[in-house]
Chains A and B, each alone.
Chain A
Amino acid sequence: MRIKDLLTGVAASVLLAGTAQAEMTGGKVRIGVLNDQSGLYADLGGQGSVMAARMAIEDFGGSLDGTPIEVVSADHQNKPDIGSNIARQWYDVDGVDMVIDVPNSAVALAVNEVTREKNKVFINSGAATSDLTGPKCSPNTVHWTYDTWALANGTGKAVVKNGGDTWFFITADYAFGHALEKDTTAVIEANGGKVLGSVRHPLSTSDFSSFLLQAQASGAKVIGLANAGGDTTNSIKQAAEFGITQSGQQLAALLLFLSDVHALGLPVAQGLTFTESFYWDLNDQTRAFAKRFGERNGGRMPTMVQAGVYAGTLHYLKALKALGSDGDGKAVVAKMKEIPTDDPLFGKGTIRVDGRKIHDMYLFEVKKPEESKGPWDYYTLKATIPAAEAFRPLDKGGCPLVKS
């Protein structure tokens, strides 16, 4: 089976130039959704991402000119070794052509390397680290939904401009938190602000009161939460309990998902300002998608990560159709970069040479309970950050692909 795959792969790349016969390895396209399905990031991606990938396949027509498209999924448990082992097995044994989602930057960086080594395709929606399109960029990887630079640029800039010029970070102690703290620090300093200190907590901490007290003692005007998922919701909830905001300090949740706001409830979450690339209630198209998604997902609206899985899968399939083969991951990603992106959720956009998907980002504020008109009506749009300004300039990331 593996030899046959290899041969078809070789054959496909030889024939690549002209004869565009649909030639898919193993006679099918197989997409692997790899994410946290049981831990603190399960609600922002998890089974919802699997559903989003399935919906993209349906909307693409269910098959690629008669070649079946399949979805497999697995739980990486937020452990890089487990994540890269699953990816390796998928590529080597199970005939998976593309891996998508992979929240948790540590796992994403590991899968990034495996994908490069196996010459497959990795579309990242869930992970945040901007290193994926910076020093660690790969010709086999596309970073779809958001990244730490975009979050820092959106939220960091807005907060500093509103007078929040001294910061203290509460940072998740792994690749993602470090990247987010680093990128936000750069934005703060570039806008004339100052970072007074930071504290790093282990992933999946339940009690944040000690860290919040340290942040309070620092006297900083803004407490920047460089963490995600359950860590962020616990930080925000306990900050309210300890009267942090009443005493004049401001919380900046650098990464907040719709699922987090839902879990916190509006009374606690109201007034938070943060950056995202998607909200279900942006326009008619996003609302139509959200309605379909909600019907299958127990009424839960899609997060931006799940939206990114949908859009990424759709664009991947378009590239396969244009290319006529899925054997050579580099060629597929090159095709994805060549054709402009266009989908109902993120609108028109492009994928840069470093793998960065470019689209608008949005600055949202969480509504007050009395402003919310119904379930899941949580955000007010404060500002749109145009695509051209939303992401790190191509020459600033240190991606080796850019020079060539």
Chain B
Amino acid sequence: MIQQLLGIPPQALFGQLLLGLINGAFYAMLSLGLAVIFGLLNIINFAHGALYMMGAFVAWFLLQYAGIGYWWALLLSPLAVGLLGMLIERTMLRRLYQLDHLYGLLLTFGLALIIEGLFRNQFGSSGQPYAIPPQLMGGYNLGFMFLPTYRGWVVVASLAVCLATWFVIERTKLGAYLRAATENPTLVQAFGINVPRMITLTYGFGVALAALAGVLAAPIYQVNPTMGSSLIIVVFAVVVIGGMGSIMGSIVTGFGLGVIEGLTKVFYPEASNTVIFVLMAIVLLIRPAGLFGRA
């Protein structure tokens, strides 16, 4: 009885739960960025996957051409990609705020295709290797599984970043301005706060989160031009399930869905890349605003 749980030994199950949590860390960080951007800019940022990929590539560039390693890349890559994001916001997205959601979606989707195409053309589709930093090599034997140190680090780092973001937006004065600007930009502007600049910085921050996730992902997956597009659809499903624009919702849903996907990989692996969309359909039927969304 105790040795077997649904035909799987509990030890194996723990391992799979942990792995699910690790994958969930990426979903959480990416969907968090999307939620922040959607919450404040009302833009459905389809370029998020491409910017995540760029984050990984910038880390690779830094190592390849400047000899700058992983730890600096964790800082520099989000900065660089965040700046690019702000440029995109200033020059392109800004023109679309008065229009329907669809225009922002189309623009960012087009941008994603262009960015991805350029990288694929330059670097091919099979990707570039990026080694795990020496400090995080190896792993721990947890008894029920071998946990690579790096994966452990990813969960910890991602949780810290997610919670810090939640804290800033929900519990600080700056966050209060942000939330107020979402509700009524004109009024907030009237109080002397530079709303357009705040919006630019917010987009830059959301994008930097994607790039940070990209750097964290680089040593696990190949640094690959298509790494973003294979993830972005799932991440959108996470955002929809969590509730568009909800910060905590996207964090909790990101980790939760990672775990559910991980379990699917044990019980019915063939369905592992569809299970999230089945869940999304169910959630949309029962709670159209998402699990944590305001109806």
Contacts and interface: CB of A to CB of B under 8 A. Distances in A.
Interface string A186-230: 000000000000011110111101110110110000000000011
Interface residues of A, number: 43
B90 interface: no
29 contacts: A39-B226, A40-B125, A42-B124, A43-B125, A173-B269, A200-B270, A201-B269, A201-B270, A202-B269, A202-B274, A205-B273, A207-B220, A209-B19, A209-B151, A213-B15, A213-B16, A213-B19, A214-B12, A216-B146, A217-B12, A230-B127, A234-B222, A237-B222, A241-B150, A242-B146, A243-B139, A243-B146, A267-B131, A268-B129
A260 interface: yes
Interface in B249-295: 262, 265-266, 269-270, 272-274
Nearest to B268: A200
B238 to A, nearest CB: 15
B221 interface: yes
A238 B219 CA distance: 9
A209 B227 CA distance: 16
Interface of B: 9, 12, 15-16, 19-20, 22-23, 120, 124-129, 131-132, 139, 145-146, 148, 150-151, 220-222, 224, 226-227, 230-231, 262, 265-266, 269-270, 272-274
A229 B230 CA distance: 15
A347 B124 CA distance: 29
A247 interface: yes
Given A40-B125, A202-B270, A210-B266, A238 B222 contact: no
A230 B129 contact: no
A173 B222 CA distance: 21
A401 interface: no
A16 B263 CA distance: 62
A130 interface: no
A264 interface: yes
Interface of A: 38-44, 46, 173, 199-202, 204-207, 209-211, 213-214, 216-217, 229-230, 233-234, 237-238, 241-243, 247, 259-260, 262-265, 267-268, 300
The 5 closest A-B pairs by CB, nearest first: A42-B125, A210-B265, A263-B126, A265-B129, A43-B126
A246 to B, nearest CB: 9
B204 to A, nearest CB: 26
Nearest to A204: B230
Nearest to A265: B129
Nearest to B131: A267
Contacts of B120: 38, 42
Contact of B266 (A202, A205, A214, A233): A214
A388 to B, nearest CB: 33
Contacts of B126: 40, 42-44, 229-230, 233, 259-260, 262-263
A46 B121 CA distance: 11
A265 B23 CA distance: 24
